[in-house]
Chains A and B, each alone.
Chain A
Amino acid sequence: QKEVEQDPGPLSVPEGAIVSLNCTYSNSAFQYFMWYRQYSRKGPELLMYTYSSGNKEDGRFTAQVDKSSKYISLFIRDSQPSDSATYLCAMSARGGGSEKLVFGKGTKLTVNP
C-alpha cells in the first residue's frame, strides 16, 4: 500500500463548478498537509498548507483534513479555466522545513469555458 493515494483523474468540469480533490494516506505520523498546483512542464506551486485536522480557507480554495479518516480534500469554488492544472497533495510528519514531503500522483483537472 502506498503511503499517499490520489486518484489521477483526469477530471473535467464546466467553468463555475465546485471541484473536489481528495487524497488518502496510511501513515498516522503525518501532521502537515499541503496542496500544490502544477501547470504543464512547470514546478509545483504551493496553494494551501495546513497543520493537523480542520479546515482552512483562502479565497476560492478550501482545504480540509480529517485525521481520524486519514483523508484530505481540496475544494475549488467557482472554478476558472485558469485552474486547469495538475493538483498534487503532499504531507509530512514534522513539516516541510526539515523533512521530505510525500506526494500523491496528482489529479489532472480541466475546467472548460
Chain B
Amino acid sequence: DAGVTQSPTHLIKTRGQQVTLRCSPKSGHDTVSWYQQALGQGPQFIFQYYEEEERQRGNFPDRFSGHQFPNYSSELNVNALLLGDSALYLCASSDGRPSYEQYFGPGTRLTVT
C-alpha cells in the first residue's frame, strides 16, 4: 500500500516565477492538507481540500492556491515566488472523518533564488 507521494522531490525557481507541486494521498484517503515547513520550524498549515473544495485555509496570501481532483490527488500552486517561499512543502492525507490521523508525504523542497 503506497503512502502519500509527492512530486517533484526538489526544485529551484527564480523570484517572480510560478510553481506547481503535486500530491497523491494514501489509498483510501479523501482529504489532502498542505503545509509549509521553513528550516528549523514546525509545519505551518496552508489549506485543506475535501471533495474538491477548499475546506479550511491558514494564514497564507492568495498567491498560494490549490486544487483537488476527482481521484483525490491535489496540486499546490504558488505565484510570484518570493525568497521567503523557500521551504519544505508537505502534503498530508487523511480519512475525512474528524478523529482520524493525518499522514505526511516526504515533501518537496523548494528553493527560490
Contacts and interface: CB of A to CB of B under 8 A. Distances in A.
Contacts of A32: 99
How many chain B residues sit at the interface, stated as a range, is 20 to 34
B42 interface: yes
B86 to A, nearest CB: 14
How many chain A residues sit at the interface, stated as a range, is 20 to 34
Contacts of B94: 96-98
Contact of B42 (A41, A97, A103): A103
Interface in B29-85: 31, 33, 35, 40-45, 48, 50, 55-56, 58
A34 B105 CA distance: 17
Contact of A106 (B33, B42, B92, B99): B42
Contacts of B95: 97
Q: What's the dominant secondary structure at chain A's contact region?
A: loop
Contacts of A58: none
A46 interface: yes
A105 interface: yes
13 contacts: A8-B40, A42-B106, A44-B43, A46-B101, A46-B102, A88-B43, A94-B98, A95-B99, A95-B100, A97-B31, A97-B96, A99-B48, A101-B92
Interface of A: 4, 6, 8, 32, 34, 36, 41-46, 49, 51, 88, 90, 94-106
